[in-house]
Amino acid sequence: MLQGIIKRIFKKTKEKTKVVDALIRTYIDKGWLDEAEEAIELGASRDAIDLLIRAYIQKGGWWLYRARGLIKRLKASKGVIDFLVKTYLDNDRLSEAIEAVKEFGASQEIINSLTGAHISIGRLYEAIEAAKLGASKKVVEFLVKICIQRKQVFLAKKAARLIGRSLTIQEIRELL
């Protein structure tokens, strides 16, 4: 009802976005996320959209799928995407974190964290897959070193290729 009134009163004015944003914030504060999502269609700002997506992410559980749907449909900011991936990382949902980075991208800092999370639990193949998404050279060098320590020849070679190099003679000796 309120949304219908807003549509009629504010046809295409600058004030409309401010009113819609205020409505969305009120809905979010009250925990009425479905209504907030409906209000977005009235002409919300990027900040209000990001606020709603963050609210979905903070609720966790199946709300994360709703957040992903909004990110896909409304093109959320990089900060919100990083927040989603970090939430997955904080909850040890590493494969979902990789899926989100593949689908939406993420900052190098987040990709480094994702790669490090896989290294820390010994999932070196998955760490390489995460590193492929844009990890820093320093993180990949560390990954090469860990692969060598664990005598994983194939993975060490694969990780080294990510930064455009092959294994050194010293690294090969360490593998033997």
Q: Are residues 70 and 138 in the same domain?
A: no
58 lies in a domain?
yes
pLDDT profile of the chain (176 residues), mean per 10: 57 75 94 92 91 95 92 90 95 93 95 96 96 97 96 96 94 88
Q: Tell me, what's the pLDDT at 161?
A: 97
- Both 4 and 70 in one domain: the answer is yes
The candidate with the shortest Cα–Cα distance to 138, out of 117, 170, 109, 118, is 109
Asked whether residue 56 falls in the same domain as residue 110, the answer is no
**44 DSSP 8-state letter:** -
Cα-Cα-Cα-Cα dihedral sign, residues 60, 65, 67, 68: positive
Q: What percent of the chain has pLDDT over 90?
A: 80
Q: Is 15 left (phi over 0), alpha (psi -120 to 50) or beta?
A: alpha
pLDDT at 115: 97
Say how many domains are in the chain: 2
Select from 76, 92, 115 the last residue of a domain: 76
Q: For position 69, what pLDDT does the model report?
A: 93
Clarify whether residues 54 and 114 are in a common domain.
Answer: no
- Give residue 6's domain range: 1-76
83 in any annotated domain: no
Q: pLDDT tens, 55-70?
A: 999 999 889 999 999 9
What lies within 8 Å, CB to CB, of 122 at 6+ separation is 150
Residue 81 lies inside a defined structural domain of this protein: no
In a domain, 97, yes or no: no
pLDDT at 76: 86
**Closest to 140 measured CA to CA, from 152, 149, 128, 150:** 128
**What are the CB-based long-range contacts (under 8 Å, 24+) for 102-108?**
102/133, 103/68, 103/72, 104/71, 104/72, 104/76, 105/78, 105/81, 106/78, 106/81, 106/82, 106/133, 106/134, 107/78, 107/82, 108/134, 108/135, 108/136
